[in-house]
Amino acid sequence: MSDRIFSVGWLAVCLVIAVSMWQMEVPFSYEPVGPKAFPLLLAALMTLCCIVLIVRPDAGSISVDSPLLAKGAMLITVLLAYATLFSVLGFPLSTALMVMSVSRIFGGSWATSTVTAASIAVGSFLLFDRLLEVSLPLGGLFG
């Protein structure tokens, strides 16, 4: 069942690709094959694969239990927040917050996650920014 849902969704993506390629205006070029051909070919091949999956899906569906779903949603939120706050809050602070939350989500105690957060945030900043010269943002708080 999940195969079918995904395939129908991906058929819509194929349609978007096809329409967007079709409408694209291409300046005159001497090449016989322009930039439209290959993406259109891909859209056609993907449509074919999706149809095969709709007609003959693999048995079974994804079963998701709600505690796992809740944890997954939390994890994704934390990672997205980390991504957006990375340069705003600076690496040490945002990393400490991320490590703390992720560690808690993965069942770490408050003590474990606090120690892990502090050591990863400070340790990796010193290692990468100071020692290995990969420049990381320090953020307004420290900079």
Partner 1 sequence: MDNITNLLGGFQVAIQPLNLVLASFGCFVGTVLGLLPGLGPINGVAIFLPLAFALNLPPESALILLASVYMGCEYGGRISAILLNVPGDASAVMTTVDGHPLALKGRAGVALSISAVSSFVGALVSTIGIVLFAPLLSNWALSFGPAEYFALMVFAVATLGGMLGGKPAKALLGCFIGMSLAMIGIDSGTGVYRLTFGSLHLSDGIQFIVIVIGLFAISEILTMLEQTQAGQNAIKLSGRLLFNAKELASSAMTMLRSAFMGFGIGILPGAGATVASAIAYTTEKRVSDTEGTFGKGDVRGVAAPEAANNASACGSFIPMLTLGVPGSGTTAVMLGALTLYNITPGPLLFESKPDVVWGLIASLFIANVLLVVMNLPLVGLFSRLLSIPNAVLVPAIAAISFIGVYGIHSSTFDLVLMVVLGVFGYILRKLDFPTGPIILGFVLAELMERNLRRALSISDGEIGVLFESPLSIALWVMATLIIALPILLRLRGRRNRNQTVSANDI
Q: Which is nearer to partner 1, 107 or 141 (CB)?
A: 107
Q: How does DSSP classify residue 132? A: S
Q: Which of 82, 114, 138, 139 binds partner 1 (CB under 8 A)?
A: 82
Q: Write down the least CB distance from residue 114 to partner 1, Å.
A: 11
Please enumerate in sequence order all residues whose Cβ is within 8 A of that of 116, keeping only pairs 6 or more positions apart, or say none: 99, 100, 103, 108
Question: b/e per residue, 6-37, with b = 16+ CB within 10 A?
Answer: ebeeebeebeebbeebeeeeeeeeeeeeeeee
* Contact (Cβ atoms closer than 8 angstroms) between residue 39 and residue 21: yes
Site string for partner 1, 48-77 (x = CB under 8 A): -xx-xx--x-x---x-----x--xx--xx-
138 binding partner 1? (CB under 8 A): no
Q: Which is nearer to partner 1, 56 or 141 (CB)?
A: 56
CA–CA gap between residue 25 and residue 54 (Å, rounded): 33
Binding to partner 1 (CB under 8 A) within 94-133 occurs at: 95, 98-99, 102-108, 112-113, 116-117, 120-121, 124, 128, 132-133
26 binding partner 1? (CB under 8 A): yes
* Contact (Cβ atoms closer than 8 angstroms) between residue 47 and residue 14: yes
* Contact (Cβ atoms closer than 8 angstroms) between residue 116 and residue 108: yes
Q: Write down the least CB distance from residue 127 to partner 1, Å.
A: 9
24 binding partner 1? (CB under 8 A): yes
140 binding partner 1? (CB under 8 A): no
